[in-house]
Amino acid sequence: MMKFKELTYLGIILFAINGNAQVLPEKDSILNQMILANKYFMNKWPDPGARIVTDKARPANLWTRATYYEGLMALYYLYSDTTYYTYAVDWGESHEWNPTYGNIRTRDADHHCCGQTYIELYQLDNKPERIEPIKQCIDYIVNNNFNNDWSWIDAIHMAMPVYAKLGVVLKDTSYFNKMHKLYMFSKNQHGDSGLYNNEEHLWYRDADFDPPFTTPNGKNQYWSRGNGWVIAALARVLDVLPDTIEYRNEYITTLQEMSDTLIKLQRLDGFWNSSLVDSLDYGGKETSGTAFFTYGIAWGINNGILDEATYKPAVIKAWNGMVKHALHNNGFLGYVQGTGKQPSDGQPLSYDKAPNFEDYGLGAFLLAGSEVIKLAPGSISIPTPPAKYYSIKKEVTGSGSVSCSRDSVIKYETIQLTAVPDSSYKFSNWEGDAYGIKNPLDVKMDTNKNIIANFSIIITTVNDTNHTGSISEADISNLTVFPNPAYETINIHTDDPNEFYKYVLYNSTGVEIKVNSEYNKIDISNLQKGLYFLKVYNENNSLIKKIIKQ
């Protein structure tokens, strides 16, 4: 009979063989898994601008949420559901495209992360307001000499791709140069001798964790998600950085070194432990770090940086493991470690336990899926849902018009209406499915809309001998309005049978009053007592007279 230890070793070997023999599901299956996870989140957070409330309220362009939008954009590029795009645009607009907390001069990399999606949305629609605030923020750093901002490795992911994307969009290598200086300072100078271990090819989270710090078992502590931040950042930077930039080789080499180490540390179930080299230091499934590693390694394979035969088995095990052990039927992701800086934070993890923030884990999962799907068999055949259009009906009272780029817009898209008054009129307010006096007005199209713009005449207080318009007192000497004051009827008389006039009556605030009128009579019997203005006009002339209703 074989000994228990021998059976155990045999089981591990067989499990490893089976693990390497795994295959990826079809592309449609992977896409459905991504859509499911994202649907769960969007249903939970229908308002992309709503503040995030955990232990306290935070703005929704926080780094945790910004990481989610990186994944959402990756999903959108695969599956162009317009609701994804409008959800992202509404998120940016709700924060006026600012860094987190709105500080244009912040050097905190966490507050720059939202800029990654802002820039991508700018690339889809070149509206300057989408990148101007983040550009101002990064310009402030580029134009200063300090290079020590990224003192924790999460910062590499939060900010490094922002510099790369700005450099590409603006065709300005100064962003690449500053990015590289910040990165190399973190790698080689922070802490005692840099945060990257050039022998073990992993990163210490910050200076608190470089030697002599160790795990309780005497091993170097490398936090899974921290290293995930870095490898994801390298992939996202290399994805856009021009081939002519000399720094590419540095980033490629580091990604290769990390990947070589990581596949040796992968668990048999496809996950990586929270503490990478010490399975006894909070070992167990952890989704966010695993997803980032999957993304970075799969990106390396897809871009010819990593050997497919060597690294693809690790990607397959990781994706299949996350789908089997972490993804719920409703789209919730389990085993996501909460915010922190080390393996012990947010422990213990479980299939059903929700972290304090669910967004960044989903962002990592969507990023992973966007690269894993390229390695999967089959083709994407899931039809993109047709965009749902809503119509907008524009009406006016008074004299003016409403300008709008189009009358039919995509569901949840925000459009802008501008009320344009005619000569001698002013815009008063919106009514119907809009309200207030803001002009132009942003309208979110979440249903069909009927919007009314009210215009009122610009009233100039006049005596009977003064008037507005282009005629003089002598010109109207043949026109008589009587009686004034009046009780029931106003009569208009002109001595010239060839002059034809039209009449409009306004109340004291300039709003047009609907009244019955004939050729030379206006019925005011139903009006309240008070001051009114009568506009008498034709193609050549106009006159406003005060009328007293008694």
The catalytic residues are 154
Distance CA 12, CA 9 (A): 5
**Pairing relationship of beta strands 389-397 and 449-457 according to DSSP bridges:** parallel
**Pairing relationship of beta strands 449-457 and 479-482 according to DSSP bridges:** unpaired
Q: Long-range CB contacts (< 8 A, 24+ apart) of 12-16?
A: 12/268, 15/268, 16/268
Q: What letter would DSSP give residue 389?
A: E
Q: What is the DSSP string of 429-486?
A: EEEES--BS-SSEEEE-SS-EEEEEEEEE------TT--SSS--GGGGTTEEEE-SSB
For residue 31, give Cα distances in angstroms to 75, 146, 371.
8, 43, 11
Strand partners, 329: none
Distance CA 440, CA 126 (A): 20
Q: Which residues contact 390 (CB under 8 A, 6 or more apart)?
A: 408, 409, 410, 411, 445, 446, 447, 448, 449
Distance CA 372, CA 9 (A): 31
398: left (phi over 0), alpha (psi -120 to 50) or beta: left
Residue 11 burial by Cβ neighbours in a 10 Å radius (0-12, 13-18, 19+): exposed
Distance CA 465, CA 462 (A): 8
Peptide bond into 216 cis (omega under 30): no
> What b/e sequence results for 443-473 when a residue is b if at least 16 CB atoms lie within 10 Å of its CB, and e otherwise?
bbbeeebebbbbbbbebeeeeeeebebeeee
Instruction: Please name which of 371, 286, 346, 359 lies closest in space to residue 321, comparing C-alpha atoms.
Output: 286
For residue 20, give Cα distances in angstroms to 13, 15, 203, 248, 304.
11, 9, 27, 31, 21
Using an 8 Å Cβ cutoff, are 193 and 186 in contact?
A: no
